[in-house]
Structure 1
Amino acid sequence: MDLHLHVYQLKTLIKIVKGVLEAALKSKTYETVYNRLAVEEATAAVRGGAGLQGASLRDSDQED
């Protein structure tokens, strides 16, 4: 947790998380990864995350 993800890494991981099958959503590992990405996304936004360019976990919750 001491190291932050680069914006490019964050965008890529958000896209991957959006494609996870629903059966995997109930695992502890997925929950841990999702929570970490949420923290990283918030950190990137505070730092001026213009580099995210629309990639958002919040958007993935609203899709489908």
Structure 2
Amino acid sequence: MQISGELTEEQQGRVLSRRAGRFFYRTSLPSGVDGEKVEADLTDGILTVRLPKSGVGKRRRITIGGKG
């Protein structure tokens, strides 16, 4: 998974400050994540990434048979 974007921010008040630039982040997804359904949202400077679990790997009960 990789996340990239560009940030431009300007604040006015007592001091004028400007911040701008590109960012790039790359990481591996944990096992059990459905990579096709990953969602990301950037609101008020907070990046939220949702990693939904895939249906594979759910618990199930296995009956063990044997003699004796």
Given the two structures, how large is their TM-score scaled by the length of structure 1?
A: 0.18
Choose between structure 1 and 2: higher helix proportion: 1
Given the two structures, how large is their TM-score scaled by the length of structure 2?
A: 0.18
